[in-house]
Amino acid sequence: MKPSSSTSELFRPLFGDPIVDAELGDRAWLRAMLDFERALVVVQSHAGIVPVDAARAIVAAIDSAVLDPASLGARATASGNPVVPLVRDLVDVVPADARAYVHHGATSQDVLDTAASLVAFRALRPILDGLAGVADECERLAVRHRDTLIAGRTLGQQAVPTTFGLKCAGWLVAVDEARERLSTVRAERLAVQFGGAAGTLAPLGTAGASLADRLADELGLVAPVLPWHTDRTRFAELAGALGSAAGVLAKIAQDVLLMAQTEVGEVEEADGGTSSAMPHKRNPVRAVLVTAAAKRVPGLVATVLASMAHEHERAAGGWHAEWETSTDLLRLVGGAVHGTWELLARLEVHPEVMRRNLDLTGGLPLAENVSTRLAPALGRSEAQDLVAEVCREAVATGSSLLDALLADFRVQEHLSADEIGEALDPSGYVGSAAAFVDRALVAHQRKAER
């Protein structure tokens, strides 16, 4: 189904994923609501509550229903939700003797909460597949650049050396963990809702509780202990997991944006976009769009959390605030996942520029290594003070740290020229970077094999 507004047609392709979006539109919601009504009459028929002939007639009506989401939405204003007009439309097309069994024992929130669970369950499948693809790209980059030197950066400034492989391994672990959390929510927290008007299923007598379990089996959702009309922890966990995933993807996009700056030039998007006014530019468009999508997610998560306080047995507004919010969350995260995969799959990495940038500071990031080697002779504090003084001298005179150290007799008393050169070799001061990359790769493979 085409988006209903021209705004969506303008901007939806920038921030969505067609596969995920197909599980989130009006037709997807309508399908999920009809799936609930169908499953409801099926399990009630099996339990002897609905006559077999009536159940068959209702199922046939549902399967052949041609419903207009726009019409349902327009008529929903009278009741505050689209379930009421949906049920009326179904009642109108079933035989008279079956009408009493349409939507039997259920309430509007049962339909919409279950539909929301089904929509999320279905949309999360391509999102999880996409996150697996993102993780695989992180793995590929981590393997290829396991030992590629790059300046570590803290508070925006060069720190000690690290490797680009370790940076990618960090992305990998975070993506795997975000994916695992979303997978758990999908498998364990998306539940059927069936409680009737006030959570008692009074019209069904004592058979209601077992029917809820059968309904869950029929729909492939979790069977809750109780109806959860006013317990919104399930959707809060979904929102939180989506928010975490968006944050992980935003971190990757931001790193790429920073490394792709003209003055840095360590990476670039293979087919980056151009500017309408500045044709020389090669803009990191995918990183920009992932960042934009991710920036919208925390506010949506906050809306879900702020909506958790439901009054007594049915909310007056909090429940209603979740419908579009959860849909937007899934859409934006789906788009961010797809955009991040495209970004990493087409990322051009420039190791020679990484090394050149590392050398821009004339060895200053290795000062810690020099002071460590001087510490046995001078003591830790004295060694740090001496090296800090030499660093200041190097900066003031515009010389390299190597030249400044070689010119200082106090340093030469304890370290030879070869030892100083060795201390300033960044490849010898990346610690456990390679081991950490390997650990991340092993952990990823274990998760992939589950």
Q: Is the pLDDT of residue 119 over 80?
A: yes
- Kindly report the number of other CB atoms within 10 A of residue 335's CB atom: 28
Whether residue 439 lies in the annotated active site: no
Q: How far apart are CA 149 and CA 359, in angstroms?
A: 11
Q: Which of 71, 275, 416, 432 is catalytic?
A: 275
Q: What is the pLDDT of residues 212-259, one digit of tens each?
A: 999 999 999 999 999 999 999 999 999 999 999 999 999 999 999 999
Q: What is the pLDDT of residues 77-115, one digit of tens each?
A: 999 999 999 999 999 999 999 999 999 999 999 999 999
Q: Where in the chain is the domain with CATH 1.20.200.10?
A: 108-191+228-358+433-450
Q: What is the pLDDT of residues 34-48, one digit of tens each?
A: 999 999 999 999 999
What's the rounded mean pLDDT across residues 295-309?
A: 97
For 339, phi then psi, to 5°, come to: -65, -40
Looking at the DSSP bridge assignments, the partners of residue 347 are 269
7: confidence class by pLDDT, cuts 50, 70, 90: very low
CB-based contacts of 29: which residues, under 8 Å, 6+ apart? Answer: 69, 115, 119, 327
For 107, phi then psi, to 5°, come to: -125, 165
The per-residue pLDDT of the chain, averaged, comes to: 94
Q: How far apart are CA 351 and CA 261, in angstroms?
A: 15
What's the rounded mean pLDDT across residues 411-429?
A: 95
Measured CA distances, 74 to 9, 84, 85, 103 (Å): 21, 12, 9, 21
Q: What is the pLDDT of residues 260-287, one digit of tens each?
A: 999 999 999 987 655 555 555 678 999 9
Whether residue 276 lies in the annotated active site: no
**What percent of the chain has pLDDT above 90?**
92
Residue in 196, 54, 220 with CA at minimum distance from that of residue 121: 220
Q: Write out the CATH class of domain 108-191+228-358+433-450.
A: mainly alpha
Measured CA distances, 336 to 305, 415, 427 (Å): 22, 51, 35
Q: Where in the chain is the domain with CATH 1.10.40.30?
A: 364-423
Measured CA distances, 205 to 47, 208, 217 (Å): 13, 6, 21
Q: What is the pLDDT of residues 340-361, one digit of tens each?
A: 999 999 999 999 999 999 999 9
Q: How far apart are CA 123 and CA 111, in angstroms?
A: 18
- Kindly report the number of other CB atoms within 10 A of residue 420's CB atom: 21
| H or E element in which residue 348 lies | strand 347-349
Residue in 117, 120, 109 with CA at minimum distance from that of residue 316: 109
The 3-state DSSP class for residue 149 equals strand
Q: What contacts 24+ positions apart, CB below 8 Å, involve 391-399?
A: 391/364, 391/367, 394/362, 394/364, 395/364, 399/362
Q: Which of 12, 99, 140, 314 is catalytic?
A: 314
User: Are 56 and 3 in contact, with CB atoms under 8 Å apart?
Assistant: no
What is the predicted pLDDT for the residue at 207? 87
User: Are 145 and 349 in contact, with CB atoms under 8 Å apart?
Assistant: yes
Task: State the fold for domain 364-423.
Answer: Ribonucleotide Reductase Protein R1; domain 1 (1.10.40)
If 0-12 CB within 10 Å is exposed, 13-18 middle and 19+ buried, where does residue 76 land?
Answer: middle
The 3-state DSSP class for residue 429 equals coil
Q: E strands within 304-432? A: 347-349
Token pair recorded at residue 106: 């259920």
Q: How far apart are CA 446 and CA 78, in angstroms?
A: 53
The 3-state DSSP class for residue 273 equals strand
Q: How far apart are CA 149 and CA 348, in angstroms?
A: 16
CA angle, 266 then 272 then 278, to 5°:
100
